[in-house]
Structure 1
Amino acid sequence: MRGLAINVGANTNEPGFRARIDAYGQFDFIPIPESEPTRADAHAPTYGELDDALDWPVDVADVRDVPTHLDPEFDGYPFCEGYTYGDEHGVKARPILELSGGDFLFFYATLSTGDERPGWQPPEWGAFVIGHFRLARDPLPGETYREAAEATRDVFANNAHVKRETFDAEVLVQGDAWGSERYDVAVPLSTRTAGVDANRLVTELSADSGKGPWWRRPLRLDEAATREWLDIGDTAAFDRCFDG
């Protein structure tokens, strides 16, 4: 069993703001904008439509009519129908393609912290794990998807890359319904002191050094690290993010 963590979601470049995390660790996932045309028979929800469906602590007025690239797809989140993810960028697609069915794909995002943040959150912003998939099958290369049977293609019909006029994903991933989830409480990857500083989940448990812009890179996890990442959401284990 292996794990991989990748960065997703709104950021200060796209669409110009981050989602927020509150003092209790609760958050709402906000996707990036859709950068490509969507098929006429498919729908990419706008920020305004998501804002109406979620209790967001952010102002989306400037992008209310902008379509979103809603990926990953978490079952139970508005406009989602299951657990799927696609990526057209080799820097993420290549390590994802190294995974197998039963492995875990973690998703982390940079989130803004409030003025009344608790001591475990860094000032201004930090990187936090927001959910994971347990892979229901081996990752599907883009070329394989194009030639796949209808039943396989149907699994990914609601994925943002499949909705594009030109399908461009280098990889598609399906999470199983019993081992995949969007977290209720986000798990910190940054230290208490600064968002740019990685805590031990990165520096000790992943293959990444935690130096430079680590919060933009895929983080590879071996079996032991994957198990600890899965367990760290438990309250009793939460302090191990920082203390070892």
Structure 2
Amino acid sequence: MFDIEVVFSEGLYDSSPNVWVRLVQQLNDFKEFEVIDGFTGKKMLFGEVLRYLKQNKRKSFFVELAGGSIEFSLVADKELCRLDIKNLANSLEMAHSLIAALIDEPAFVQARVYDAEYDRWQNAENITLFEAANVEHSHLPKKSNGLPFPLTQEVVDISNNPGRWVLRKGYIEAVGSPMWVSKSLLNSLDVDEKELMNVDCFSVENLGSVLKIVACEQCFTADVGIQAERQVMLRKILFKA
């Protein structure tokens, strides 16, 4: 499975059912499925979701179906909306089609396809998570969580992990392969579009107001070797990080 993260500007929050409308045509395989409102537990048919969202004037939604989920929410303090599609895209082709249905939305900012397991451990800071899953962590760098006593704890330092993500104002500092970035975001980050398009090891496709970047033939799943190098290179060019 391939998980998907899409970021929009906060203005889209007032018309969130439009996000669902864009996705529906790409989810025909699920049209006969029963779905659950993850917020209330209410069950309904897939085809009833749009009417349900409109009737209840839902801006945020969390739809569970077929062992996966689609969640749309506002991150108000960061002035962005976030769409997460988890455990539904069983191929890169399907992930591409879902994102392709969204990139011409004027509020579109960025999107990426990622491996959930890799993303989880690249961003795990709480040592308890590693111990509960029997994942070795002794070799990982540590730091204080910065909280005053008695809340002070040692946590994993993820600040140099190539697969880390950080919420920023208006966007998420994260890389993926493939990923889509709006030219408006590139402009706001002062990214040299020509420099990005001329990187030999990247495939960059101009889609009008959006660039599609493929830095690796598969989703990133490693923080060493060529995959790590590509992630670090993407971060440096896009986010100066």
What range is the shorter-chain TM-score in? 0.3 to 0.5
Task: Please give the TM-score of this superposition, normalised by the length of structure 2.
Answer: 0.33
The structure carrying a bigger helix percent of its residues is 2
Task: Please give the TM-score of this superposition, normalised by the length of structure 1.
Answer: 0.33
Largest Rg, 1 or 2: 2
Which gives a bigger RCO, structure 1 or 2 (Cα 8 Å, sep 6+)?
Answer: 1
